[in-house]
Amino acid sequence: MARSMTKQRAALKLILTTRLTSREIQAATGLSKSAVCRYRKAAHFKKLTWATVEPWPVAQIDAVLNKRPGGGKVLPAIDYAKLCDELAAKRMPLMVWYVDYQRQAYPHHRSYSSIAKGLRAFRKTLPTFMHMQHNPGERISVDFSGHVPHYIDLKTGKKVKVVIFVGSCDASSYFFVKAIHAQSIPEFLRAHADMLVFFGGAPAVFVPDNAKCAVVRPGTDLELQRSYEDLAKHYGVTILPARPHHPRDKAVVEASVKIFKNQMLTRLRSFTFYSIDEINERIAVLLEDANNQPMSNGMPSRRQRFETIDQPALRPLPPERYVYADIKPKIRVDGGYHVLVLKHRYSVPHRLTGQYVSARITDDAVELFHEGKQVAHHPRSHATGGLTTDPSHMPESHRAQADRNPDGLKAWAKTAGPHIARFVQLQFEQERSFMGLRPADRVKTLVGKYGAALVDRALADCPDLKTANVTDLQRKLSVMAKEGAKTPARRSSNARGSHSFIN
């Protein structure tokens, strides 16, 4: 209000308790003579006494002494608290709200200017921020700067803008800055790994904003980027994004971004860079200076605060640095117990056929998970349309069929017995090697029926393994099995093989 409330109260007290003239009261209070006369008339008309007026609040005295604007009309009061909430909830400009209000309250409506003035006055009474008490080593906030430097591409001669990643320890305000190529998920996560190496430890909580490289869906139904969750799991950190449109949730890093813009970016623009590495080398020098400067409020530098507050409370980093992994959250296992990952199929245990698994893909490996548990690990293959199968994932029947090839049968035979191995080897030394599949497979069946030891003993009695007849071998095994194979048949010195005959 234009007049001081203290002067109004003092003038009214002199009017009601003394016999001073209006000029004398004017000289004592500094109010105009017309104002003093108006107060005297109002007090006389309303028959006021100082005993009545003394306990009144300032607003009540002002309402009695000063005529309301608008010819004294009493207009409906505005609930400014409710109005603030409505404008914020609907993100509505005041003018849009006023048009509806004017239509509903006509003709007893307030002017737009009076409502705007009252709203401004009400907002000044609201708390604008809260002083946060940050626990040492608990939170690191991250953000991007909207103001960025650039470098010159020597091949094209064009300017290439970079992205500035900033991370701050909330308790000490010690901060990290790095230039990256883009706000992509791999670049974002690599910047996190570099930041933790710079700080020398991991916090309990990351506080990012709602950029797409960090958050898939913000709000109450929050969904984080799977790769970002994978990084947080590696370092044992929880991710708590700031609320949408609430930058003060990460006020410390916002202040760090401002320091970069006001102090570091100006100096960077005085240099010409030809690569992003050159930008980062210069940023490292400027960052050292910024962190070593005493803070403006007379407190120690950010580095000193970090070394005494945050650094002792940070948790040690794991032995291995985080390696970026692409996460595929939901892949259906096909009828052949394989999943398609980046145009290549990888096997999972056959019992998972028809179910869903998630994939974690690095440069050299593909890991598959079912309900949070790893069920398969394969070397990564870049063969488009290829197939990578772990034999242990196959059903018994499929594994047997997969082994029905020369290499598979030879490998099996080596474990069954020396004479079995020799027999199978000879079958595939024919001119048409595929003709050896049937006899080798039949011997494998006989091993399953009679046992490897008995079959190997029977083959040992054959004069020539290359020409041995599997049907005769089966009859012999049947007899040996009935007799209990107590004594192996003695080989006669007169027995002759095909080498004894000359055509």
Percentage of the chain modeled with pLDDT above 70: 87
The answer to the question of residue 348 being in a domain is yes
> By C-alpha distance, which of 267, 144, 142 is closest to 199?
142
What confidence score (pLDDT) does residue 77 get?
83
Task: Say if residue 176 is in the same domain as residue 297.
Answer: yes
What confidence score (pLDDT) does residue 2 get?
43
Least confident among 70-74, 110-114, 140-144: 70-74
Q: Which residue has the tokens 């650094």?
A: 311
Task: Say if residue 181 is in the same domain as residue 237.
Answer: yes
- Residue 451 pLDDT level (bands cut at 50, 70, 90): confident
Domain termination residue (choose one: 371, 394, 417): 394
| CA 183/CA 161 separation, integer angstroms | 12
The answer to the question of residue 212 being in a domain is yes
The answer to the question of residue 70 being in a domain is no
Task: Say if residue 143 is in the same domain as residue 273.
Answer: yes
- Kindly report, residue by residue over 397-448, the tens digit of the pLDDT: 777 666 666 666 777 777 777 877 777 777 776 656 566 667 777 777 787 7
What confidence score (pLDDT) does residue 485 get?
46
What confidence score (pLDDT) does residue 74 get?
66
Task: Say if residue 360 is in the same domain as residue 486.
Answer: no
| CA 325/CA 328 separation, integer angstroms | 10
Q: Are 325 and 196 in contact (CB under 8 A)?
A: no
The answer to the question of residue 292 being in a domain is yes
Asked if omega into 488 is within 30° of 0 (cis), the reply is no
Least confident among 329-333, 346-350, 397-401, 466-470: 466-470
Mean per-residue pLDDT, 19-43: 88
- Residue 355 pLDDT level (bands cut at 50, 70, 90): very high
What confidence score (pLDDT) does residue 276 get?
94
Domain termination residue (choose one: 394, 418, 448): 394
What confidence score (pLDDT) does residue 70 get?
52
Task: Say if residue 158 is in the same domain as residue 306.
Answer: yes
Q: Are 216 and 251 in contact (CB under 8 A)?
A: no
User: What CATH number is attached to the domain comprising 292?
Assistant: 3.30.420.10
What confidence score (pLDDT) does residue 145 get?
92
What confidence score (pLDDT) does residue 410 get?
72
What range does the domain containing 414 cover?
403-498
Residue 267 has pLDDT above 50, yes or no: yes
Task: Say if residue 48 is in the same domain as residue 152.
Answer: no
Task: Say if residue 276 is in the same domain as residue 147.
Answer: yes
Task: Say if residue 263 is in the same domain as residue 170.
Answer: yes
Q: Are 268 and 279 in contact (CB under 8 A)?
A: yes
Domain termination residue (choose one: 289, 313, 337): 313
The answer to the question of residue 466 being in a domain is yes
Residue 130 has pLDDT above 70, yes or no: no
- Residue 1 pLDDT level (bands cut at 50, 70, 90): very low
Task: Say if residue 146 is in the same domain as residue 284.
Answer: yes
Mean per-residue pLDDT, 356-375: 90
Mean per-residue pLDDT, 36-59: 87
Task: Say if residue 194 is in the same domain as residue 284.
Answer: yes
| CA 176/CA 451 separation, integer angstroms | 69
Rounded to a whole number of angstroms, the CA Rg of the chain reads 44
Q: Are 166 and 189 in contact (CB under 8 A)?
A: no
The answer to the question of residue 244 being in a domain is yes
The answer to the question of residue 321 being in a domain is no
DSSP state for residue 204 in the 8-state scheme: S
Number of structural domains found in the chain = 5
The answer to the question of residue 474 being in a domain is yes
Task: Say if residue 211 is in the same domain as residue 102.
Answer: no
- Kindly report, residue by residue over 168-183, the tens digit of the pLDDT: 999 999 999 999 999 9
> 336-365: buried (b, 16+ CB within 10 Å) or exposed (e) per residue?
ebbbebeebbbbbbbebeeeebbbbbeeee
| Mean per-residue pLDDT over the chain, rounded | 84
Please indicate whether residue 72 or residue 279 has the higher confidence score (pLDDT): 279
What confidence score (pLDDT) does residue 466 get?
62
- Kindly report, residue by residue over 273-332, the tens digit of the pLDDT: 999 999 999 999 999 999 999 987 778 899 999 999 999 999 999 999 998 888 888 899
- Kindly report, residue by residue over 193-235, the tens digit of the pLDDT: 999 999 999 999 999 999 999 998 888 888 899 899 999 999 9
Task: Say if residue 272 is in the same domain as residue 410.
Answer: no
